[in-house]
A and B are shown apart, each in its own frame.
Chain A
Amino acid sequence: MPRLSRRGFLAAGGARLVEAAAPVTTTVPGGLDVRVLQTASSVERGIITTYEALLALPLVRNGRPILTDVLRTTLQHHNEHLGAFQAQTVTLGGKPQAAANPKVQALVARGLASTHDVVKLSVALEQFATDTYLFDLGVAGPGLRGLLGSVMLAEAQHLAAVRLLQGLVEAGNERLVAIPTELADVPRSLGTVGFPKALHPLAGPDGVAQPDTGAVK
């Protein structure tokens, strides 16, 4: 399978990614909770545009059905997350963010040559979202914790799901890359690949979208 460069990836289905690349501002008025929500919206927008682009790639469209199913279902969830964050932004008197976060777009700047590459990108995106909302719990007001926590746990489960998918792909047996799979035949490591640590690590500044990276001017 030919290796897709980033340019090729974008040409294949990432037009909206380019549109979304309009930089978001970094110095903003408004309360911290509004900025957290706007940045969360920008993270969701970045993931949505990426998944839309991935779903348009021939290697996904012509690949294993499970990959399309996972990307499509997860995309639907992220659209719902975006709607929830934007609605709460408006409730707090802010302007909803519609642009993608540049830190998410930076994650996409890599070649995609195989199903494995697509799944790894998905892992990176879900990890970034999970870590961002975990970080936000420490900076947002208590009134936002319910929404942030609700979405964070959904992202965490996405993360585990795509790690499991990565584990199935890496097992090298096409028959196992399916839902349902053959539990008796999957590698032993699949029992732990979704959750490598007992306590989810706190990411450093590079691994999250801090509230000033996606706020509306």
Chain B
Amino acid sequence: MRAFGRRTLLTGGAALTTGLVAAGCSDRATHSTVAASPPPIGRGVARTDADIATLAGGLEVLLAGAYRSLRERLNGGAFGRVPSAMDEYVRVAMTHHEEHVQVWQDILGKSGRAAVIEPNRQMAPAVQRQLDVVKDVDGALHLALGLEDVAADTYLRSLTEASSVEAARTAARIGIVEQQHQAFLLLAIGDYPAPDSLMRPEKAVTP
């Protein structure tokens, strides 16, 4: 087995991923393979921690809703016989994202900012379009992988932009889990579960 890069491995599901990235990516890079150099992550536009929480909250609402939709369709038999590990993954990933929503709502509450109840506006239409066309387990896996990829990349960017250690660590602690969700999804697709040496926020969404 060779040490493939994630972007190489994703070509099989690139259509779904590309749709999501086109909707939300701020700085789509041209990297196709990883390199052993520090990733180009800058502290560009100044954002407050409340801005970061608002962005993250909207993304988490979106992901929780997407998994809820997939779960309902899985349970309804729309995808035929579903492997039990896949069924369990969708259930737990949905609850993880619901918990992430609550984490960001708590931070927003402390800052006096309004709670986020709507899914991220940039991403929502594209995700809905993808949900509308998913018709099997493989499509569901690729859609989920694209969403988790965007989320993890967004958290990687956010942790560099956070003002407080608390916000940076919160973004990191959630970003870790989004990255780990991808490991299962990659394995379920049949790919190597940890292909990249250094992560880059290529698909990060900006407010």
Contacts and interface: CB of A to CB of B under 8 A. Distances in A.
Contacts, number: 193
B85 A145 contact: no
A194 B180 contact: yes
Given A151-B198, A191-B87, A198 B95 contact: yes
Nearest to A197: B177
Interface residues of A, number: 56
Contacts of B152: 153
A164 B172 contact: no
Nearest to B40: A146
A150 B199 contact: yes
B86 to A, nearest CB: 6
Interface stretch (B22-30, B126-134, B186-194): B186-194
B11 interface: no
Interface stretch (A47-55, A80-88, A109-117): A80-88
Given A73-B3, A80-B34, A138-B169, A147 B39 contact: yes
Contacts of A181: 187
A57 interface: no
Contacts of B84: 187-188, 191
A199 interface: yes
A191 to B, nearest CB: 3
Contact of B194 (A137, A160, A200): A160
A157 B88 contact: no
B200 A195 contact: no
Contact of A183 (B41, B83, B90): B83
B177 A73 contact: no
B68 to A, nearest CB: 15
Contacts of A137: 159, 165, 168-169, 172
Contacts of B34: 80
A197 B191 CA distance: 24
Interface in A120-166: 130, 134, 137-138, 142, 145-147, 149-154, 156-161, 164
A4 interface: no
A150 B200 contact: yes
Interface in B160-200: 160, 165, 168-169, 172-177, 179-184, 187-188, 190-200
A199 B179 contact: no
B36 interface: yes
A182 to B, nearest CB: 9
B159 A149 contact: yes
Contacts of A152: 172, 176
Contact of A157 (B165, B179, B190, B200): B179
29 contacts: A66-B1, A73-B1, A73-B3, A77-B197, A84-B36, A84-B38, A137-B172, A138-B168, A146-B40, A149-B199, A153-B176, A154-B198, A157-B179, A157-B182, A160-B180, A160-B194, A161-B183, A161-B194, A164-B184, A179-B187, A183-B188, A188-B84, A188-B85, A191-B87, A191-B88, A192-B92, A194-B183, A194-B193, A198-B177
Q: Closest 9 A-B residue pairs measured CB to CB?
A: A146-B41, A191-B88, A180-B190, A191-B89, A160-B183, A160-B180, A80-B36, A161-B194, A198-B99
Interface of A: 65-66, 69, 72-74, 76-77, 79-81, 83-84, 87-88, 130, 134, 137-138, 142, 145-147, 149-154, 156-161, 164, 179-181, 183-184, 186-192, 194-195, 197-202
Given A134-B176, A156-B180, 17 more contacts: A73-B1, A79-B36, A80-B197, A142-B160, A145-B160, A149-B159, A150-B41, A153-B156, A157-B179, A158-B194, A183-B86, A188-B87, A192-B92, A194-B180, A199-B174, A200-B172, A200-B174
